[in-house]
A and B are shown apart, each in its own frame.
Chain A
Amino acid sequence: MDGDETSLGVTRRAAIRGTAALTVASVLPTSEAAAERTTEQVTFPNGALDIRPIVNGRPVTARIDPRTSLLDLLRESFALTGAKKGCDHGQCGACTVHVDGHRVVSCLTLAAKVDGHAVTTIEGLSDGERLHPMQQAFIDHDALQCGYCTPGQIMAAVACVREGNATSRARIRDYMSGNICRCGAYVGIVAAIEAVAAKGGRV
């Protein structure tokens, strides 16, 4: 198998635009596997798994080590680097994505579990160059400083509104507590979510 992302012609910018060719992506599963790769062969100590998730609306395939997290699959195999690795233990929320419409932390999701399921990342949120209303609201309300937690915040925020949990400032804070912002942009984040929820309509 070919384990080199560049041979797929996937650039970070293309991936961010959501235009990357993801239909055939038998690429490296984990950094551990990458370290073991000395030739063209990738070793899977306990056997490889072939999975077929739907990522940002596109059916894709991947051959993975069973240990691979969804976060590593997205970042390392599909060059979708929007979801961030903050703690890698489900404590910070920077890796938040949607699986079948529900927000999850991708670091604690075994990639094997998304076989046959739909995954949406921050790259799949915008309509081409047109930002999702929540992305625009984060800009309008200065809801970030360094930006590292922002993709996770926005994915959680979109889910928070869709779930119907953005009904008050207190409830937004409670239902966004799984996303940590060490810059402390919380006031802007809550304001952005409040504004999007107030507009109503489909988010």
Chain B
Amino acid sequence: MQPFSYVRPDSPESAVAAFTAAGPGTRFIAGGTTLYDLMKLRVERPAHLIDVTAIKGLDHIETGGDRLRFGALAPMSAVAENPVVLRDYPVLAESLSKAASQQLRNMATVGGNLFQRTRCLYFRNGAGSTSAGTTYACNKREPGTGCAALGGIDRGQAILGQSDACTAVSPGDWPVALVALDAYVEVLGSSGTRTVPVTDLYRLPGNTPHLEFTLQPGEIVTAIVVPKTRAGRRSTYHKIRDRESYAFALASAAVALDMDGNTVTRAHVALGGVATRPWRASAAEGALVGHQLTAETALTAARAAMSGARPGRLNGFKIELGARTVADALMIAADRSRA
């Protein structure tokens, strides 16, 4: 692992100031479950680490008023177990409790998880990995080197949003649920605070897959805000994996519905496991609103969610799997308690 300097500021302002002072190669670290892992693999090679976990007051969970507000340093496990979140926003609770293991959920923060990096096997094949003798090309890890996943073992790769330069899947569950519920983040930088919709944090890979996020260098997320919605109660995060627990999604769907009788009046649908970024499925939402929800209309909407999908060699199954995941999620959500 590359040597690095380490500081632990005690306020968001001093963290931002420390970033500016430290210069190039500086990274913020919270739980570290992605960054430290990738440093061991020599995929990430920061020169300076700014540990934000000693900052007080950034781990509060507020559920009063017209919004949910999660301090960026709240552990994933704490938000997953919050009684209000469990009761009124199962899509949020499930997106967290179905992610990683309890050990990792205790370490990882809801702010840091927004910036988890892809599990693409080729991306993770850095100089520190066990097969480092045969490091594969990866435009995300080493810009301009090519993409070994194209024509490679692409079973886990994206079928939506990929480019000729990169097919890596966005790995998160929590960001998918947040995108579905129109959440935004509060951001602090050297020029002050701003808010950013969660969906706007993520870039498509295009020709620059090494650029994944839209935050400026030195900016940190201080809180995540979810506007309250009646649809939260009738929601689910449905996640299909190779094993039942502790695995990344092959396909997943975050769904929240507002209904009048059996008619959908408002639909929130987003996909995970199949796309290069958290994927809002507006076409599916449009196909649902104003219609009765049945197994047939759910599947029709779900197929609309997958429109534009382009499979590679081994991941063509994700088109049907993704559609059925969305359709099942819609039926699960619709069955939940009437708010």
Q: Do A and B come from one complex?
A: yes
- Taking beta carbons and an 8 Å cutoff, which residues of A are in contact with B? 32, 45-47, 49, 65-67, 69, 88-90, 93, 96, 102-105, 108-110, 112-113, 115, 156, 159-160, 163, 165, 173-175, 177-179
Name the A residues within 8 Å of B101 (CB-CB): 93, 105, 177-179
B103 and A110 form a contact (CB under 8 A): no
A173 to B26, CA, bound (A): 39
Total of A-B residue pairs, C-beta within 8 Å: 86
Question: Which residue on chain A has the smallest CB distance to residue B102?
Answer: A175
B51 and A104 form a contact (CB under 8 A): no
B5 and A156 form a contact (CB under 8 A): no
B102 and A46 form a contact (CB under 8 A): no
**Count of interface residues, chain B, beta-carbon cutoff 8 Å:** 30
A112 and B3 form a contact (CB under 8 A): no
A90 and B37 form a contact (CB under 8 A): yes
Q: Pick the contact of A88 from B40, B49, B77, B100 — CB < 8 Å?
A: B40
B102 and A110 form a contact (CB under 8 A): no
Min C-beta distance of A193 to chain B, whole Å: 13
B51 and A173 form a contact (CB under 8 A): no
Given contacts A105-B107, A112-B8, A113-B51, contact A178 B32 (CB under 8 A): no
Given contacts A93-B103, A110-B32, A175-B102, contact A67 B1 (CB under 8 A): yes
Question: Which residue on chain A has the smallest CB distance to residue B29?
Answer: A110
Given contacts A90-B37, A93-B103, A173-B245, contact A46 B4 (CB under 8 A): yes
A66 and B29 form a contact (CB under 8 A): no
Name the B residues within 8 Å of A104 (CB-CB): 103, 106-107
Q: Pick the contact of A66 from B6, B37, B104, B243 — CB < 8 Å?
A: B6
Interface secondary structure of A, over-half rule? mixed
Given contacts A90-B37, A110-B51, contact A177 B246 (CB under 8 A): yes
A178 to B102, CA, bound (A): 7
A-B contact pairs, 21 of them (CB 8 A): A32-B1, A45-B3, A46-B4, A65-B3, A66-B5, A96-B103, A103-B106, A105-B103, A105-B107, A108-B36, A108-B37, A108-B104, A109-B32, A110-B29, A110-B36, A112-B51, A113-B32, A177-B245, A177-B246, A178-B102, A178-B104
A47 to B7, CA, bound (A): 11
**B16-56 CB contacts (< 8 Å) to partner A:** 29, 32-33, 36-37, 39-41, 49, 51, 53
Min C-beta distance of A3 to chain B, whole Å: 18
Question: Which residue on chain A has the smallest CB distance to residue B101?
Answer: A178
| Best-buried of A113, A156, A165, A178 by chain B (most CB within 10 Å) | A113
Name the A residues within 8 Å of B243 (CB-CB): 177
Name the A residues within 8 Å of B100 (CB-CB): 178
Name the B residues within 8 Å of A177 (CB-CB): 101, 243-246
Name the B residues within 8 Å of A69 (CB-CB): 36
A54 to B1, CA, bound (A): 27
A43 to B240, CA, bound (A): 48
Given contacts A90-B33, A113-B51, contact A105 B4 (CB under 8 A): no
A66 to B4, CA, bound (A): 7
Q: Pick the contact of A112 from B6, B103, B246 — CB < 8 Å?
A: B6
Min C-beta distance of B20 to chain A, whole Å: 19
Question: Which residue on chain B has the smallest CB distance to residue A101?
Answer: B106
Min C-beta distance of B52 to chain A, whole Å: 11
A89 to B40, CA, bound (A): 8
**Which 10 A-B pairs have CB atoms at the shortest separation, nearest pair first?**
A178-B101, A177-B245, A45-B3, A177-B246, A66-B6, A46-B3, A102-B106, A105-B103, A46-B5, A174-B245
Min C-beta distance of A45 to chain B, whole Å: 4
A49 and B6 form a contact (CB under 8 A): yes
| Best-buried of A88, A109, A110, A115 by chain B (most CB within 10 Å) | A110
Question: Which residue on chain B has the smallest CB distance to residue A92?
Answer: B101
Given contacts A88-B40, A89-B37, A174-B245, contact A109 B107 (CB under 8 A): yes
Min C-beta distance of B237 to chain A, whole Å: 14
B104 and A105 form a contact (CB under 8 A): yes
Min C-beta distance of B103 to chain A, whole Å: 5
Name the A residues within 8 Å of B5 (CB-CB): 46-47, 66
Name the A residues within 8 Å of B32 (CB-CB): 108-110, 113
Question: Which residue on chain A has the smallest CB distance to residue B247?
Answer: A177
A67 and B4 form a contact (CB under 8 A): yes
B4 and A178 form a contact (CB under 8 A): no
A115 to B5, CA, bound (A): 16
Question: Which residue on chain A has the smallest CB distance to residue B47?
Answer: A46
Name the B residues within 8 Å of A175 (CB-CB): 102
Name the B residues within 8 Å of A179 (CB-CB): 101
Question: Which residue on chain A has the smallest CB distance to residue B243?
Answer: A177
Q: Pick the contact of B49 from A32, A66, A109 — CB < 8 Å?
A: A66
A93 to B100, CA, bound (A): 11
